[in-house]
Structure 1
Amino acid sequence: MKSKIKIITAIILLIYISILSIYKNDRKEQALYRYKIITDSTDLAPEDFMRVAEIWTRHDAGIKTGLTLLNSQDPEVRTYIDRHSSWIREKFNNPDKSLFIHELYHVKLAKAIAKDLNEKINFYGYDRNTSLTKLGIYQEKLNYLQGKYDSESNHSRNKLMQAYWEYKIDSLNNFGRHYNINDEVSVFFPTPPKVQVWQFSDDTLYGKSAIVNQLEFIILKLNPSEIDSAYLVDYFANRIFRENNKYNNIDFYSIPNNSILFGYSKDTINRIETHNNLIVDSQFNFYLARYVFPYFEEQDSTLIKVGERFFDSIKFKSDSIPPKTT
């Protein structure tokens, strides 16, 4: 009987040692991939969520990001993901991937903070010790902003604030860049814009546009053949602003910042709001600036403020004198 117990005990011990060895090797192998450094060509991927989903939380996902300092001679800050502390409940990840996108913007926020610190290091010529000190300060700033992002967006459940934070984070990453529409006009987009083409039966308009979440920003160069006020009202108010009979609130008056016509519309069927701004440069070239956003249940003036920032970012290389519209 005792010999059987010894044999069983030995077998159990061997099994335990084998399992422990496999576990240790597996952990050692996983440790090689625990931290992922984010570069210009890499981003968050589904396989980066290596941790088993938390069971003692009401949240459906979690990600841990941080800042690290590379190089000793020329310090460079990079964002990293702690994969072992990142998890997602796939069954809650909607077909639109809203949960994954929310976590992705945590990474983009960390990249924006790293970019800001790198610019400071390069501008002031910080050595490694000073850079390490600044790194700690910026890590605290990042932690604060990550918490604020989660709180205001309610972990992506507040669609309005999620859209706003995506715009804000993209703008931080694209900060300082203006894109030329032509030699006279440039504008800031939260993300690199694409060429925009509007095709009419007798005209083609070109410009640029960018989309962040469900927010769209557009600027087009227009081609009116006259600058007579009656013609402008007919061309812009009836043709551009009222396309598809959507635009029913048009005010024709002079307002600052090169704007001569402003209009907005609310498409209650598709639940879309559109704001248009007609602007003119010193050479009497006309441009249509537009931002479009959806209705949300908790709608307020937040997204309108975002759109107005887009309008305000339009810059002319020379002073503009709007034509008289009498």
Structure 2
Amino acid sequence: MRNQIKILSILFLLAYNAALFNMSQKSSILELNRYKILTDSTGLELEDFMRSDEIWTKSSASIRTQITLIEENDSLFARAYVDRHNSWLKKDHNIEGTLFTHELYHARLAQAIAKDLSKKIDFYGYDKKTSLSKLDLYRKKLNFLQAKYDSESNHSRNELMQAYWEYKIDSLYNLDAQKEIFDEVSAFFPNPTVTHIWEYSDDTIYGKGTFVNKLEFIILKLNPSKIDSAYLVNYFTNKFFRENSKYNLIDFNPIAPNSILFGYSKDTVSKTETHNNILIDSQSNFYLARYAFPYFEEQDSTLIKVGERFFDSIKFKSDPTSPKIP
């Protein structure tokens, strides 16, 4: 009888230890899958929201992101990561939905902050101790911006502020992604551009443009045949400024950023608000920069802020001091 009890005890202990080992292995595997490093090629996916829906909150989604330091080949890099076990998304939302997009930009904001820290470490040659000190500051900065993003966009419910933050985060994320539009001009476009061809009876104009949420951004190279003020005013006004333009400002002695004429209009028929900026480089080449968006009677300044950031991103290779026009 005693022998049977011993054998049963041994078998029980073996089974118990095997179960503990199996649980430990599973826990290790789960822990390995918990944190996902975010890169340009490994972005946020639906599978990254691994936590079950939070039954004690009204929130439909949440993502936990942070930044860390990684050492590779004796060099330090900052990288953003997502805590998948503390991120959730309601099952009725898919990758095309606004809720996923809102969470995606939380991840992209973390990546933008990590990129900025990496550039600082590389540029100033920080050692490990200094880099860890900077990491703490950048984590606090990220937490502040994540909370501000949620607050101002009301967790994506405020569509205008969501559009503003998407452009703002894209601007940070692609800070060095100035795209050359023409030989002399580059600008920041957060999305891939498409070619624009505007045809008139006496002219054909080419350029680039893109849509970001509710906004359209365009840059065209103009072809005026004369360079005198009377002709140019007529050329610009007839082609690019509508009858219901609120105001036109003309200055043929341009100051930075090379703007000589600005026009602003609200089309009450198509419900579109358009902002035009005529620019000139040092070789007397003219460009139209434009942003447009749906017009609302109670329009706030949010989309205008986004458009002005686009205008500010336009850069000229040549000396910004442009020639005077007779």
Using the size of structure 1 for normalisation, the TM-score is 0.82
- 5 Å-filtered alignment, 1:242-321, equals 242=242, 248-251=245-248, 253-254=250-251, 256-257=255-256, 258-295=258-295, 299-316=299-316, 317-318=318-319, 319-321=321-323
Indicate conservation of the 8 Å contact 2:220/2:289, yes or no: yes
- In the TM superposition, residue 159 of structure 1 has moved relative to its aligned partner by 1.2
Question: Over aligned residue pairs, what C-alpha RMSD do you find?
Answer: 3.0
Check the 8 A contact 1:284/1:322 in 2, yes or no.
no
Retained in 2: the 8 A contact 1:49–1:84?
A: yes
Check conservation: 2:278, 2:286, Cα contact below 8 A: yes
Tell me which moved more, 282-291 or 257-266.
Answer: 257-266
Matched residue type, 1:81: V
Deviation of 1:90 after TM superposition, in Å, equals: 3.2
The one-letter amino acid paired with 2:87 is S
What is the Cα deviation at residue 297 of structure 1?
8.3
1:227 alignment partner AA = I
Equivalent residue number for residue 5 of structure 1: none
Report the AA paired with residue 151 of structure 2: S
Q: Quick one: distance in 2 between partners of 1:98 and 1:173?
A: 20
Q: 1:237 to 1:90 in 2, by over 3 A?
A: farther
Q: Distance in 2 between matches of 1:68 and 1:101?
A: 23
- Show structure 2 runs of 5+ residues with no match: 1-16
Shift of 1:298: 6.7
Please give the per-residue CA displacement for 1:254-295, whole angstroms capped at 9, x wherever unaligned: 264332322122234554321001122232211000112334
| Contact 1:237/1:250 (<8 A) preserved | no
1:145 aligns with 2:157: no
What is the distance in 2 between the residues matched to 1:249 and 1:137? 46
8 Å contact from structure 2 (residues 274, 290) kept in 1 = yes
5 Å-filtered alignment, 1:1-326, equals 27-71=27-71, 73-91=74-92, 93=93, 97-187=97-187, 189-191=188-190, 193-201=192-200, 203-242=203-242, 248-251=245-248, 253-254=250-251, 256-257=255-256, 258-295=258-295, 299-316=299-316, 317-318=318-319, 319-324=321-326
* Count of residues in correspondence between the two structures: 304
C-alpha deviations, 1:110-137, integer Å up to 9, x for none?
0111011101110121222322222222
What amino acid is aligned across from residue 34 of structure 2 in structure 1? R
Identity %: 59
Distance 1:102 1:315 in 2: 30
* TM superposition shift of 1:193: 4.8
Alpha-carbon offset, residue 97 of structure 1: 1.3
Structure 1 residues 266 and 24: alpha-carbon distance in aligned structure 2, compared to 1, 3 A threshold = farther
Contact 1:51-1:85 at 8 Å conserved across structures: yes
Pick which of 17-26 and 260-269 moved more: 17-26
Aligned mates of 1:240, 1:27 — CA distance in 2: 64
Q: 1:51–1:87: 8 Å Cα contact kept in structure 2?
A: yes
The AA in structure 2 aligned to 1:253 is: I
Report the CA distance shift for 1:110/1:84 in structure 2 as closer, same or farther (over 3 A). Answer: same
Question: Does the residue aligned with 2:135 lie in a helix, a strand or coil?
Answer: helix
Q: Which residue of 2 aligns with 1:11?
A: none
Q: Aligned residue for 1:7?
A: none
Q: Determine helix, strand or coil for the equivalent of 1:309.
A: helix
1:101, distance to aligned residue in structure 2 (A)? 0.6
1:197 alignment partner AA: H
3-state SS of paired residue (2:79):
strand
Following TM superposition, by how much is the alpha carbon of 1:43 offset from its aligned partner in structure 2, in angstroms? Answer: 0.7
Q: What is the CA–CA distance in structure 1 between the aligned matches of 2:184 and 2:168, rounded to whole Å?
A: 27
Give me the TM-score of the superposition, normalised by structure 2: 0.82
Secondary structure at 1:115 match in 2:
helix
CA-CA distance at 1:19 after TM superposition: 10
CA distance in 1, matches of 2:147, 2:42: 24
Question: Are the counterparts in 2 of residues 192 and 210 from structure 1 also a CA contact under 8 Å?
Answer: yes
Shifted more, 207-216 versus 166-175: the winner is 207-216
My pick for the range that moved more, 112-121 or 300-309, is: 300-309
**Structure-2 change in CA distance of 1:294 and 1:119 (3 Å):** same
Partner Cα distance (1:192, 1:299) in 2: 24
Displacement of 1:58: 1.9
More strand by share: 2
